A and B are shown apart, each in its own frame.
Chain A
Amino acid sequence: MSYQYKHHGWQPCPEARDETVRHKAIIVGGGPVGLTTALELAAYGVPSVVLEDGDTVSEGSRGLCWSKRTLEILDRHGVAEQVRARGYTWHTGRLFHGDREIYHFDLQAVAGEKFPAFVNLQQYYTEEFLVDAVARQPLIDHRWQSKVVDVAPGNDCVAVEVETPAGRYRAEADWLVAADGTRSAARRALGLKFDGSTFEDCFLIADLKVHAALPNADRRFWFHPSFHPGDTALCHKQGDDMWRVDFQLGADIDREAEKDPARVIARAQKMLGPHPMTVEWVSIYTFQGRRLERLRHGRVLFAGDAAHQVSPFGARGGNSGIQDAENLAWKLAYVIRGKAPDRLLDSYDAERGEAADENILLTSRSTRFLTPKTAAERVFRDAVLDLAGEHPFARALVNSGRLSTATIHRRSPLNGGDGGFAGGVAVGGPCPNLPAPAATGSHLLDSLGRRFQLLCFADGAPAPAALVELDDDIEPILVTRGAARSQGAPQSLADPDGRLHDAFAAQPGTCYLLRPDQHVAARWRRFDADAVKSARDRALGY
């Protein structure tokens, strides 16, 4: 293994000295989702304890494609640029039928955005950067080699039993976030069903260090390639000259024989060329599409793979987990600080449950396209592939994975009025991270804080006097086509080329109410202080 794993030992904690501490929040699982949750909570001033079973970061690269929305969330913790610098940035997907490229798609939709559609980086690096960010954050108590063996939810508290190299202890918290992965101990302790569908086909997934300078390549996907007849294959470049390959193997295979490194290399060399290479990690998996019926169980909230599991084609596992963390953390922080009712946490289930359903639907459709179950299904799949080479309409039907984009919470109970807009940023969706030069940074999201904010497209006119009537919890931000005012309240952003105005379908007077997670809560064509406050209250669960 070329990656140097740092090992983190167990450190004594108050509970191990028989002191009783009531924590605000315990997070079970120190993977990307748990660590992001802890960082987000800390950014709202809420302390937490992270309990991690292992003593180091992810074994093998596992999660690989980090989406634009994930990068935007990580950027709030100084981690996104590290991921970008280490990783491989891409936005094109190339589709092959046989050995012929039938078309490619481009995921880079909006010019000028701060982050690309995807950065590929091995999960251990992303976790390492998150671990470092957590270490810089005094509000987070990150406990390694701390395995949660039981969870006991109560009416006003949650208790966990933790096993460490120095013995067991019991810890208590007001809230528990279960981010402990597909085999979640918390889910088992609560006896919750994790239902859905399982697909039969086995896929071989491997990370290979290639000891040759291969040309860069974005995502490549093959149906029926000559190097792997009859099945599908996928290839991604990662950081450090590491390549991810994925081969469909069918249902009846000898798993151990297929994981033999010599055999994996023989397969990969047919794809990548006869270069020397080393197998860094290999696994065989089948597709799962399942979720918890509810993501909230009283004081226990489930996030990431502990809450839902999807097939990897589409990069919807890790990316949806990071979005869970962001969605949950601000709500939990507002409830913990007494600024929102407990009910706000039900909207976590509503919003991220909707996202989980969407991810399961889209990945299940991809899976059905990749693995036709009957001869009749295969006839249509092959007809689509044959037509796609010549006819653009059929390319829309080729489904090698619909890649992760930020979820728009269209049916959220927190959503306010959509104000009769044609286009712009939908209520429930995140703001686009377009250029918006200001003292706080180069792009729009750099200027958004961890509070409710009202984007006002004033178009050079003075701000409505009523803006000052907004209470302290809603900060107005003016967006002007001219130069930004350099100082004074309210904050102002320059939009000289009109890109923000276009993206928000803004006219003079247009206002967008933004939540602390940068999603749109409501929007209007004309400012109305009472309507804004009422939408803010709704978005807080009142």
Chain B
Amino acid sequence: MAKLRTDPNLTDPDGFYEALITAQEGLPAAAADQLKARLILLLANHIGDDETLREAVALAREGLEKKSR
């Protein structure tokens, strides 16, 4: 991992987490899925750099394969 920041970088961690959870309140599962997908796309565009994004995708997937099997 060279470009993706994984050190603490959020200016207001608790506030951000609350906003993230609150945004999904009251949404049916399908709409909540849409929210997550839109959020990922918006943030991905903000980051822009392909190498950083691919590192994030790889890191997000890490460990999941073992659990699902």
Which residues on A are within 8 Å of B, measured CB to CB? 379-380, 382-384, 386-387, 391, 393-394, 397
**Other A-B pairs, 10, CB within 8 Å; known A380-B37, A386-B38, A394-B41:** A379-B37, A380-B41, A383-B34, A383-B37, A383-B41, A387-B41, A391-B42, A393-B45, A394-B45, A397-B41
**Number of interchain pairs (Cβ within 8 Å):** 24
- Describe A's contact surface by its main secondary structure: helix
13-45 of chain B: CB within 8 A of chain A: 33-34, 36-38, 40-42, 45
- With both beta carbons as reference points, the residue of chain A lying nearest to B32 in the complex is identified as A379
Q: A-contacting residues of B (Cβ < 8 Å)?
A: 33-34, 36-38, 40-42, 45
Q: Which 4 A-B pairs have the closest CB atoms?
A: A383-B37, A393-B45, A379-B33, A383-B38
Q: Is the interface of B mostly helix, strand, loop or mixed?
A: helix
Q: Name B30's closest neighbour in chain A (CB-CB).
A: A379
A379 to B45, CA, bound (A): 17
Chain A residues with Cβ below 8 Å from B38 are 383, 386-387
Closest-by-CB residue of B relative to A397 is B41
Cα–Cα, bound, A386→B39 (Å): 12
Residues of B within 8 A of A393 (CB): 45
The complex places the Cα of A386 from the Cα of B33 at a distance, in Å, of 13
- The smallest C-beta distance from A383 to any residue of chain B, in angstroms, reads 4
Question: Are B42's CB and A387's CB within 8 A?
Answer: yes
Contact partner of A386 (CB less than 8 A), chosen from B34, B36, B40, is: B34
Q: Taking the nearest CB of chain B, how far is it from the CB of A440, in angstroms?
A: 44
| Shortest Cβ distance from residue B36 to the other chain A in the assembled complex, whole angstroms | 8
The answer for the CA separation of A380 and B33 in the assembled complex, in Å, is 9
List chain B residues, Cβ under 8 A from A384.
41
Residue in A379, A391, A397 whose CB lies within 8 Å of B34? A379
Q: Are A382 and B41 in contact (CB under 8 A)?
A: no
Q: Complex formed: what's the CA distance from A391 to B41 in Å?
A: 11
B27 shortest CB reach to chain A, Å: 13
**Complex interface: chain A residues within 8 A of B41 (CB):** 380, 383-384, 387, 394, 397
Distance from A374 Cβ to chain B, minimum over Cβ atoms (Å) = 12
A394 to B41, CA, bound (A): 8
- Bound-state Cα–Cα, A380 to B38, Å: 8
A386 to B36, CA, bound (A): 13
Docked-complex contact B34 and A382, CB < 8 angstroms: yes
How far apart are the CA atoms of A379 and B29 in the complex, in Å? 11
